[in-house]
Amino acid sequence: MTPARKNISAFEIMGDYWSLLIVRELMYGASSWSAFSAVISIPPSTLSNRLAKLVAAGCVVKSEQPKRAKGTYKLTEAGKGLFPILIVAREWQLRWDLRPGAFVSPWVHECGAPLHCKTTCMACYGEVLSQDILFKGEALAHEHGGTLNHRTSNKINVDLRTSNAKIAKITIFLGDQKALKVMDALLRGYNRFDHIQKWTGLHPAVLSARLRKLQLLDLCVTRLYQDLPDRFLYITSDAGKELIGLIVQLMEWDAGAKGAGSARALLHHKPCSHALKVALICRACEGHITYENTSVNL
């Protein structure tokens, strides 16, 4: 039986480093503890905790098997709905992190081409660009689930699919919910420290750390707008602007979870002035990309 989707946001699910890696492995067809721990260097208690959270979120079901104490896990429809988020994240990685050794999932579209996607507006078929998005009803647009109780792992090389500890930049970013939240604020046009702090609700020290992290990942740059005391504007870089597709896909999943396009109505596409509903399109054949019409060659 598939449990109902709980009121948990995609930002909370994917904004956890471990859950992100587990979901990725589930997409590849992994279903057992041994399969997860073969490629993720994850402590058993953490694995157990994250699988339980994914089950509670309605993204994963566990089948009890009497002979195998730990059972097997598979994605629910809601879990499969996280696929576009992983794919836009992967696309960003392919484009903006060229260091060798950082792992990128080898997905192939049904047309036979290695997967390259673009996020397009379903009303006008235009590619979704950050400057073309209008965020409406700011205060309500995004309910940050409040809890944020996952500790970000300080360990490197926990993703054994990477070589030489080169964890993909997108994984370092996406798997840190607080960094994600700060980037979301920047993409909405909040550029001053106090404004970002107010919108995200993060402690100033935590916000400073995440802004530094975003700069190290080349996602934002600073510009001095006042001196004595020095005050900076935080401006998204070109690489940062391209994360809009990821933010939109996260919001799409939340809209699907809540039904009736609740969050979707808050995003508008300026070129066609429609409420934004997006499709993930293959750059090779212009066909839609879904979990079902792609395959992975590991």
Q: Which three-class secondary structure state does DSSP give residue 155?
A: coil
| Tokens linked to 235 | 């401006």
169 binds Zn ion (CB under 5 A): no
What is the closest distance, in whole angstroms, from the C-beta atom of residue 92 to Zn ion in the complex? 19
108 binds Zn ion (CB under 5 A): no
Query: How many Å apart are CA 14 and CA 29, to the nearest integer?
Result: 18
284 binds Zn ion (CB under 5 A): yes
Cβ-contact 68, 77 below 8 angstroms: no
Q: Which three-class secondary structure state does DSSP give residue 192?
A: strand
Number of chain positions touching Zn ion (CB under 5 A): 11
Helices 177-187 and 204-216 pack at an angle, to 10 degrees, of: 80
Contacts with Zn ion, 261-280, as mask; x by CB under 5 A? --------x--x--------
Nearer of residues 61 and 123 to Zn ion, judged by Cβ = 123
38 binds Zn ion (CB under 5 A): no
Query: How many Å apart are CA 81 and CA 60, to the nearest integer?
Result: 11
Q: Which stretch binds Zn ion (CB under 5 A): 71-79, 121-129, 207-215, 241-249?
A: 121-129
247 binds Zn ion (CB under 5 A): no
How far is the CA of 10 from the CAs of 70, 85, 249, in angstroms? 26, 9, 9
Nearer of residues 264 and 269 to Zn ion, judged by Cβ = 269
165 binds Zn ion (CB under 5 A): no
Nearer of residues 44 and 271 to Zn ion, judged by Cβ = 271
248 binds Zn ion (CB under 5 A): no
Among 51, 121, 180, 219, binds Zn ion (CB under 5 A): 121
Cβ-contact 57, 51 below 8 angstroms: no
Q: What part of residues 201-220 is at the interface with Zn ion (CB under 5 A)?
A: none
Q: Which stretch binds Zn ion (CB under 5 A): 71-79, 163-171, 178-186, 282-290?
A: 282-290
Among 109, 142, 210, 213, binds Zn ion (CB under 5 A): 109
Q: How far is CA 224 from the centre of its chain?
A: 30
Closest CA to 50 of 93, 86, 15: 15
134 binds Zn ion (CB under 5 A): no
Number of residues assigned to the chain = 298
Closest CA to 32 of 56, 4, 67, 1: 67
How far is the CA of 94 from the CAs of 55, 117, 137, in angstroms? 30, 11, 33
What is the closest distance, in whole angstroms, from the C-beta atom of residue 124 to Zn ion in the complex? 3
What is the closest distance, in whole angstroms, from the C-beta atom of residue 287 to Zn ion in the complex? 5
Cα Rg, the chain, nearest whole Å? 19
Dmax (CA) for the chain in angstroms is 69
122 binds Zn ion (CB under 5 A): no
Nearer of residues 167 and 248 to Zn ion, judged by Cβ = 248
Q: Which stretch binds Zn ion (CB under 5 A): 74-82, 86-94, 122-130, 157-165?
A: 122-130
Positions that interact with Zn ion (CB under 5 A)? 109, 111, 121, 123-124, 269, 272, 282, 284-285, 287
